[in-house]
Structures are given as C-alpha cells and as structure tokens.
Amino acid sequence: MMRIDIITCLPKLLESPFQHSILQRAQDKGLVQVVVHDLRDYAVNRKKQLDDYAYGGGAGMVMMIEPIDNCISRLKSERTYDEIIYMTPDGETLNQQIANELSLKGNLIILCGHYKGVDERVRTHLITREISIGDYVLSGGELGAAVLSDSIIRLIPGVLSDETSALTDSFQDGLLAPPVYTRPADYKGIEVPEILLSGHEKKIEEWRYEQSLKRTKKRRPDLLD
Ligand code: ADE
C-alpha cells in the first residue's frame, strides 16, 4: 500500500482535504495511507520554536533544520522512502506526468514550508525533490501538498471506478477532455448535441476525439507542440 507522510506546522489545514470523497474512500479501501505529522512535536527547545531569524538579516523567519531533520529521521528509521518532497514555488511545476510517475511509488514524504522558507541545508541535504503547484505564491506548502496528494492518489489503481477512470481525464492523453452533458436533453431550448443521443458508439468516440482536439487547439495550443 502506498503511504504518504506529510510534515507540517499546521496539521489542521490538512484535515479536511483527506476526509472526504475519493481521498477518504481510497484510505478506507486500504489503497493509500496518509499520515500528517505536526512538526511542533519535533521541536527541540522549551518554547517549541520551529523558526528563527535569518542569518544576515532581512525580513521573515526561516524554518530551522533540527525539528525537520528529527521528523524525517524518525520516519526514515521506520521505512524507506522513494522521494522526500519539499513544496516550494521554485520547485519543478507539477503536471500530469509527475503525478503519474509519483503514483507508482511506494512511500513518499511531503514537507510543507512556511514563513520565508526552510533553512537551505534542509533542501540540499534532506530533500530529494522540490515541487511547485504553479507560478504563484501560497502562504505555505499545505494546500500545495493537498493538491499534489490528490493528483497522485486518484491515479492509484482501484481508487477510481471504471466510469470515472483517470484515463479519460484532460492531459492524460496530452489533450483536454471533451465536453460532457447529462439530462435533460433540452434545457430551456439549449440542446445536447444530437450525436450523443444517437447510441452510435463509434461515432460518439470520433466526435469526442474531435472535440478534444478542437478544444486543445483553441485553449492550450502549447499541448499540441
Ligand atoms: N508554497 C508556497 N507557494 C507554493 C507553490 N506555488 N507551490 C508549492 N508550494 C508552495
């Protein structure tokens, strides 16, 4: 079973995303185990301090290496990890290919940063990979870790049913997904494309492919290069 250990100083921020819908069901089915670790439990001094002033001055606190090292060392003493990921806006940008790749791994650690980031020695010595969820800055890595975990977990075999199979997702074949419709066939005069009501499986498949192509050309021509 895949296991994802998330290290954070704000564990409450990560409760809800894993307690609903597909992510909850994946855990209930025993397909993935998500464990959130409160970095505060690994704080070293009396004040349970996790960050300190930056050497050289400047605004913003920096997360200290020792609590992070203590937490990661404890986890590594219990099992081996395929990747130890740090969520940061200057990491490689998450895409479907990275999600696919990580969904095949066994154990992952995801470290969430805060304030002005973590002591650089965490990045050079403890982390194996750095991932950003896009070119914008979040207040911390927690929401990024939730996004990354979701993108990975839904790809684990057995998590999605056939009907919701990830194989038909946007990006999975390098194209955006085609439009979808459900009842009623006529809503206030706005009609569902007739081909979808025809029952002609092969033609519907062709139509969907054309729509995918058209949509990708229009919205994301970069995907076709
Ligand atoms: N932490 C702050 N901004 C982030 C981003 N864009 N992606 C991942 N982690 C972050």
The pLDDT, as a whole number, for residue 28 is 97
**Residue 133 to residue 144: CA distance in whole angstroms:** 6
Residues 35-62: pLDDT tens digits? 999 999 999 999 999 999 999 999 899 9
Q: Which amino acid is at 151?
A: S
In Å, how far are 92, 119, 129, 140, 182 from 88, measured between CA atoms?
9, 13, 10, 8, 39
Under the banding of pLDDT at 50, 70 and 90, the label for residue 164 is low
Residue of 7, 13, 138 to mutate, ligand 1, most atoms within 8 A of C-beta: 138
The pLDDT, as a whole number, for residue 172 is 78
Under the banding of pLDDT at 50, 70 and 90, the label for residue 154 is very high
CB burial string 62-81: b at 16+ within 10 A, e below? bbbbebbbebbeebeeeeeb
Residue with tokens 């085609």: 178
Structure tokens at 110: 């995801």
Residue of 63, 88, 139 to mutate, ligand 1, most atoms within 8 A of C-beta: 88
In Å, how far are 14, 17, 88, 164 from 199, measured between CA atoms?
44, 38, 48, 20
Q: Is the CB of 137 under 6 A from ligand 1?
A: yes
**Residue 151 to residue 68: CA distance in whole angstroms:** 25
What's the gap in Å between 111 CA and the centre of ligand 1?
A: 11
What's the gap in Å between 8 CA and the centre of ligand 1?
A: 13
Q: Mean pLDDT across the chain, nearest whole number?
A: 95
The pLDDT, as a whole number, for residue 163 is 61
What's the gap in Å between 149 CA and the centre of ligand 1?
A: 14
Please give the share of the chain, as a percent, with pLDDT higher than 90. 92
The pLDDT, as a whole number, for residue 116 is 82
The pLDDT, as a whole number, for residue 169 is 84
Residues 98-130: pLDDT tens digits? 999 999 999 999 999 987 899 999 999 999 999
Cis peptide before 184 (omega within 30 of 0): yes
